[in-house]
């Protein structure tokens, strides 16, 4: 395993076709494979292709939706590549949100013992998070990202124009993850985000916020690519959030990732307020912004046991203790805080009563 700290690449560009064309020209015709899902094929491929023509056989379309981030879909993708003569020096371009980027990265990084891949994120969440940092994988046995690896992409190319076709729900999901960066690392970014108007998008301003968020992600991944230490800061909101999300996958009542994380951040801010010194004023402002923006959570006391079990199975935890990242104040983080089931239940209780 290469243990050198990677240089994380990402670029915010305003002519995505030009950037992609450079890659296409550097490869033999037929050696570039493009992964899209149903929606990104329709909405994003035309933005990107412009005057470029990709051979149909090199465009691999999968079904959209978190339920399809599965071994079955990976098998379909491996099978397709293998039957169509993929080579060790072929290139994969992932055009899609976090689901497509995670899965496409995993498939590319495992076929032929790994071929190069590029991420072209098309959702807000993927632009600021999922496409950056090299985490690749799929859901398995009802658990989020249970199978996977860390392999850095060759390039991550961000063009905010893709967001013009993204619905409000998915914009909100991206916002949830962006809020996290402000909360763990940059109080000014938090203030900018809570005053940003998502209903009338100012794309120039959004581009700046995306760039800032992606830089924060880059900072943590470069310092700690294998999540042994400070990269765990990025898990703020995710111990609870992943449980809400995993449960929603099981019950087929989808709860988008960033929204699940936003509710997770309420629970973990609650623990931060109790245990890590987060002031009550900051705690109140976090809760009220999240509830005003995302609405009240559809989370029921009847499911507490299931949430707790999911948290215990999370890869981040050991010895039956549940590990959370906390925030001593807005803009600061503290990793490796362990909690008993009882303390976790109190945080869940706070959320359902909010």
Ligand X SMILES: NC(=O)c1ccc[n+]([C@@H]2O[C@H](COP(=O)([O-])OP(=O)(O)OC[C@H]3O[C@@H](n4cnc5c(N)ncnc54)[C@H](O)[C@@H]3O)[C@@H](O)[C@H]2O)c1
The answer to whether 235 touches 200, Cβ cutoff 8 Å, is: no
Phi, psi torsion values for 108, nearest 5 degrees: -65, -40
Q: How far is the CB of 168 from ligand X (least distance, A)?
A: 11
* Residue nearer to ligand X on the CB measure, 237 or 297: 237
**Count of residues near ligand X by CB under 6 A:** 30
* Residue 73 is a binding residue for ligand X (CB under 6 A): no
The answer to whether 138 contacts ligand X (rule: CB under 6 A) is no
Q: CB of 5: closest distance to ligand X in angstroms?
A: 17
Q: How many CB atoms lie within 10 A of CB 295?
A: 10
Nearer to ligand X, 232 or 257 (CB): 257
Told to check if 248 binds ligand X by CB under 6 A, we report: no
Give yes or no for residue 246 binding ligand X (CB under 6 A). no
Nearer to ligand X by Cβ, of 96 and 297: the residue is 96
Stretch that binds ligand X, among 26-34, 117-125, 191-199, 266-274 (CB under 6 A): 117-125
Kindly write out the interface string for residues 149-188 of this chain, putting x where it contacts ligand X by CB under 6 A and - elsewhere.
Answer: -------------x--xx---x--x---------------
Using an 8 Å Cβ cutoff, are 256 and 173 in contact? yes
Looking at 74, 92, 130, 193, which residue binds ligand X (CB under 6 A)? 130
Rg of the chain over all Cα atoms, to the nearest angstrom: 20
Binding site for ligand X (CB under 6 A): 37, 39-40, 43-44, 64, 66, 69, 96-100, 102, 122-123, 125-126, 129-130, 133, 135, 144-145, 162, 165-166, 170, 173, 257
């Amino acid at each position: 395993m290469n243990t050198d700290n990677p240089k994380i690449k990402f670029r915010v560009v305003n002519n995505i076709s030009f950037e992609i064309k450079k890659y296409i020209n550097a490869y033999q015709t037929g050696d570039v494979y493009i992964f899209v899902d149903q929606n990104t094929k329709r909405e994003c491929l035309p933005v990107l292709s412009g005057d470029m023509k990709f051979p149909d056989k090199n465009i691999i379309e999968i079904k959209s939706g978190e339920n399809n981030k599965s071994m079955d879909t990976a098998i379909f993708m491996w099978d397709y590549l293998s039957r169509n003569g993929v080579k060790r020096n072929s290139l994969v371009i992932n055009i899609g949100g976090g689901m497509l980027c995670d899965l496409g990265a995993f498939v590319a990084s495992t076929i032929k013992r790994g071929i190069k891949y590029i991420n072209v994120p098309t959702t807000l969440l993927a632009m600021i998070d999922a496409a950056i940092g090299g985490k690749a994988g799929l859901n398995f046995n009802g658990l989020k990202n249970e199978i996977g690896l860390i392999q850095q992409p060759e390039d991550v190319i961000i063009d905010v124009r893709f967001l013009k076709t993204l619905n409000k729900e998915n914009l909100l999901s991206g916002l949830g993850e962006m809020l996290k960066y402000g909360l763990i690392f940059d109080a000014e970014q938090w203030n900018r985000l809570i005053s940003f108007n998502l209903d009338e998008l100012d794309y120039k301003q959004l581009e700046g916020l995306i760039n800032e968020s992606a830089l924060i992600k880059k900072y943590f991944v470069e310092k700690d690519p294998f999540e042994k230490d400070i990269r765990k800061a990025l898990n703020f909101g995710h111990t609870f959030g992943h449980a809400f999300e995993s449960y929603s996958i099981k019950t087929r009542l989808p709860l988008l990732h960033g929204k699940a994380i936003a509710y997770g951040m309420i629970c973990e801010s609650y623990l931060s307020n109790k245990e890590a010194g987060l002031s009550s004023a900051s705690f109140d402002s976090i809760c009220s912004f999240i509830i005003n923006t995302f609405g009240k959570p559809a989370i029921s006391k009847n499911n507490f046991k299931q949430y707790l079990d999911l948290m215990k199975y999370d890869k981040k935890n050991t010895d039956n203790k549940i590990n959370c990242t906390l925030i001593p104040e807005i803009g600061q983080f503290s990793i490796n805080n362990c909690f008993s089931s009882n303390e976790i239940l109190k945080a869940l209780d706070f959320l359902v009563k909010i």
